[in-house]
Amino acid sequence: MFDETRPVRFSELRAKWGWLVALGALTLILGGIALANLFLATVASVYYIGALMLVGGVLHLAHAFQVRGWESVLFWALSGVLYLLAGFMTFSNPLLASAILTLLIGAALIVAGLVRLWVGFGLKGAGGWGWIVLSGVVTALAGVIIAIGWPVNSLWILGLFLAIDLIVQGWSMVALGLALRR
């Protein structure tokens, strides 16, 4: 059905515009549900991340038995064990996992914002450099706000991110589907 060797043609997308709108509407509904219960959405996000860690751990361990050399085996086996431990910890204590993930997100946003500020001021004089600086300020500020509210906001931040992502993704699919209909 989908051939990765050729680009998607607008005529093929246009023929499926209704499915795109329906998928977008469903995604919007899921985003609304997540927004209505941020705690439940946070727990769902944590379980999803935990499941990915468990799968990653199993894959790392399986790969460890495929490589040659004890250094490689040790590296992949240790990686797999750490992933498995993190995955099990996530399932056994999702609230602690959400606190850790929220703190990491806050720190990552602060670092990303500072990097954008550095890049933006490095481009001073070039067109659009102010937008990069503004983006850096907003991103760093978001990280600082998350860090200031930590650990209490750990109960809802991940759910909020999931809800916002679902809503934005849903709107974009609906808009694309409606645009293709014309």
- Which sequence spans correspond to the domains of the chain? 17-181
- Residue matched to tokens 């935990």: 50
Q: pTM for the full model?
A: 0.72
* pLDDT of the residue at 3: 53
Tell the residue number behind the tokens 């991940």, with chain if given.
Answer: 158
**Alpha carbons 156 and 16: distance in angstroms, whole number:** 36
Q: What is the mean pLDDT of the chain?
A: 90
The DSSP call for residue 67 is S
pLDDT at site 2: 47
What are the pLDDT digits (tens) for 77-132? Answer: 999 999 999 999 999 999 999 999 999 999 999 999 999 999 999 988 888 888 99
